[in-house]
Amino acid sequence: MSLDGLVVHSLVRELQACVGGRINKVHMPTHNDIVLQLRAQGRNLKLLLSANPTYPRVHLTEQAYTNPLEAPMFCMLLRKHCEGGVIESIAQPGLERVIRLQVRQRDELGDVSSKTIVVEIMGRHSNIILLDPATGTIIDGIHHVTPAISSYRIVMPGSAYTAPPEQHKNHPFHTDKERFIAVLTQPDDATGQEDDDRRVVAKRTAAPDSREAAWANRLVACFSGISPLVAKELVYRAQPLWPASDMPENLRPEKDAAIVWEPFHTLIEQLRYDGGVPQICDQPDTGKQSFSIVELTHLHGETKQFASVSECLEAFYGDKAERDTVKQRVSDLLRFLQNERSKNVKKLEKLQETLEEGRDADKFRIIGELLTASMHQIQKGDPQIEVINYYDEEQRPVVIVLDPLLTPSENAQRYFKKYTKSKNSLVVVKEQLEQTHQEIRYLNSLLQQLGTASLSDIEEIRDELVEQGYIRDRSKKTRKKKSNLKPQLSCFTSSEGIAIYVGKNNTQNEYLTNRLAQSADTWLHTKDIPGSHVVIRSAQFGDATLQEAAQLAAYFSQAKSSSQVPVDYTMIKHVRKPGGAKPGFVIYDHQKTLYITPDAESIKQMPVSIK
């Protein structure tokens, strides 16, 4: 659901709390996002500016971001011009999806300079641009737009800044009833080829859905900041007041427009004096989510309200944006692991075929012995021979295929060699089968981990693949620095106040289970399903903590969307890693099993920190 002008209006009102605040740090965790760490009104705040093409947004955030070891150039530029500066104003031009942050800072010479950060929230064309307001010149943008991409707007260092094209719509806050009705009932084009009354009458005599859609489209087309979602809501609120469409005396567009004015005016007055009601509406029938600062009564779904627009946007976009970024970063690893898994599955099929052939080894020995006993009946060059099978209770004849180029003795030896080879191969094939099964289990676990990985987990998984020899080391210097660091673990707090640690990848699993956990701690893992290691860091706890830990084990596993997921639990002293086993692989005993249906909402409510 798009972030419309009304939401931006309420957001900018909320962000006035940042005005006068000092920018202490500037970080760029991804190539689309900027995080400003602020000190404002006695509080430490984090302001996220995102030009993500799928999830562009601006809001205060509580989320922890992992920053690259080397800051990108645009981040260094923002640090130079904005770090240590004071935010003088945060404004929205009109009701456009644009936010301008005015920053005052002393430059390296001690002179006061002013810069403007412009955040343009325009879908795949979203951008974050640093301007020199004195000259209107672009210092740089997070995304460059060259003349080859757009001849209208160029976003390059040194170029003059051009604002996004105006839509020339009416401002809802500057519209009275008379103007509202006139705007909604004016002809669609300046040529006047289609009379307004005839157009609206035609739409009103059509199906009810067409009538509602027509007025919703008119609202979107005529007023800035009004998204299709809000327009549908306003028309839905006006619908009970509309007269029946089959009454000729009521077929006047002005009358319908006057009725639509009532919910429109109520909404605008509400937004004029407060920030609306930020909320997310879940629609179970379609599985979609929608957010707005307007109560969405027309969706008939489950609604959750938030105390601020920032909380609403973070709840709606947070996981989606991170998953999208993670998906982009791990696309090469996913392809590699899926290919490796496919290779091992094919190898498994071949080994199964070889195993079946090896189990028939005795038939080659019998044929060799029958040929030896019937040597006198065979002539060199014979393609086959029929002999009595003395090993058959019914003494039935059997036809044996011969190699015409070999002597009778050599043909018999050929079958004995096949027998020996097939018999010896059974041992080797069984070993390879076990190794291939382990390899597939390992690759499945990595695929599951990538499916739930956060940005901070990706590099640990990549490092593991380098250490195991699956991929090449792309940056040896970087990995040497990181090798001595212990992994950071997610630590959840149960309702009983007990710490529950979760490993999100094999590096974390190994550290958690084999080094951090103590013998009296309780270890949990999904039964025969790839998933995270979970440890309850306490010798004493109640059923509530055990249930919550099992929830975490089921949720951070391949079966997170299933019901009645089996979760084994035992004490750490009963968990051990076999010699030579793959990372993250352990065996355990003395276990008990719980059956849990993962509940994402209850897990999101659990306090969590990174340790």
- Torsion, CA 258, CA 260, CA 262, CA 265, rounded to 10: -110
Highest mean pLDDT among 119-133, 324-338, 408-422, 458-472: 119-133
Question: Which residue carries 């064309």 as its tokens?
Answer: 125
Mean pLDDT across 347-375: 83
- Of 115, 184, 143, 140, the C-alpha closest to 33 is 143
The topology under which CATH files domain 5-160 is ibrinogen binding protein from staphylococcus aureus fold (2.30.310)
| Per-residue pLDDT reduced to its tens digit, 228-284 | 999 999 999 888 776 655 444 444 688 888 889 999 999 999 888 887 889 999 887
| pTM for this entry | 0.69
Residue 482 clears pLDDT 60, i.e. is over it: no
On the CB side of 357, how many CA atoms lie within 13 Å of its CA?
14
Q: How far apart are CA 264 and CA 242, in angstroms?
A: 15
Share of the chain above pLDDT 90, in %: 47
pLDDT at position 474 is 63
pLDDT at position 251 is 47
Q: Which long-range contacts (CB under 8 A, 24 or more apart) does 552-555 make?
A: 552/492, 552/500, 552/502, 552/524, 552/603, 552/606, 553/524, 553/525, 553/526, 553/596, 554/526, 554/596, 554/597, 554/598, 555/598, 555/599, 555/600, 555/603
> Could you state, in order of their start, the residue ranges of all structural domains in the chain?
5-160, 177-315, 330-451, 490-610
| Per-residue pLDDT reduced to its tens digit, 171-189 | 999 999 999 989 888 865 5
Structure tokens at 246: 């089959």
- Quote the mean pLDDT of the chain: 86
Highest CATH level, class, for 330-451: mainly alpha
| Per-residue pLDDT reduced to its tens digit, 26-72 | 999 888 999 999 999 999 999 999 999 889 999 999 887 778 778 99
Helix axes 455-467, 331-359, angle to 10 degrees: 40
pLDDT at position 289 is 85
Q: Are strands 499-502 and 534-536 parallel, antiparallel or unpaired?
A: antiparallel
pLDDT at position 451 is 81
Give residue 490's Cα distance to chain centre: 18
pLDDT at position 137 is 95
Q: Tell me the residue type at 444.
A: N
Cα 34 to Cα 27, 37, 85, 163, 311: the distances in Å are 6, 10, 16, 21, 18
Confidence of residue 475 (pLDDT cuts 50, 70, 90): low
- Of 525, 530, 517, the C-alpha closest to 549 is 525
| Per-residue pLDDT reduced to its tens digit, 277-324 | 899 998 877 778 889 998 888 888 888 899 999 999 998 887 787 777
Q: How far apart are CA 198 and CA 200, in angstroms?
A: 6
Residue 127 clears pLDDT 60, i.e. is over it: yes
Q: Which of 155-159, 274-278, 477-481, 524-528 has the lowest mean pLDDT?
A: 477-481
SS3 472: coil
Confidence of residue 605 (pLDDT cuts 50, 70, 90): confident
Taken in order 388, 389, 391, 394, the sign of the CA dihedral is negative
Instruction: Tell me if 488 sits within 8 A of 456, measured CB to CB.
Output: yes
CB environment 145-154: b (16+ within 10 A), e (fewer): beeeeeeebb
Q: How far apart are CA 461 and CA 397, in angstroms?
A: 62
Give the H/E segment covering residue 46.
Answer: strand 43-50
Helix axes 208-222, 228-238, angle to 10 degrees: 130
Give residue 116's Cα distance to chain centre: 32
pLDDT at position 150 is 82
Q: Tell me the residue type at 413.
A: Q
Instruction: Tell me if 591 sits within 8 A of 566, measured CB to CB.
Output: no
| Per-residue pLDDT reduced to its tens digit, 539-568 | 999 999 999 999 999 999 999 889 999 999
- Compare 323 and 588 and report the one with higher pLDDT: 588
- Torsion, CA 600, CA 602, CA 606, CA 608, rounded to 10: 0
pLDDT at position 344 is 93
Q: How far apart are CA 519 and CA 539, in angstroms?
A: 9
- Compare 185 and 21 and report the one with higher pLDDT: 21
- Of 576, 574, 536, 571, the C-alpha closest to 552 is 536
Share of the chain above pLDDT 70, in %: 92
Highest mean pLDDT among 332-336, 354-358, 571-575: 571-575
Q: Tell me the residue type at 555.
A: Y
Structure tokens at 562: 């299933």
Residue 91 clears pLDDT 70, i.e. is over it: yes
pLDDT at position 476 is 53
pLDDT at position 185 is 86
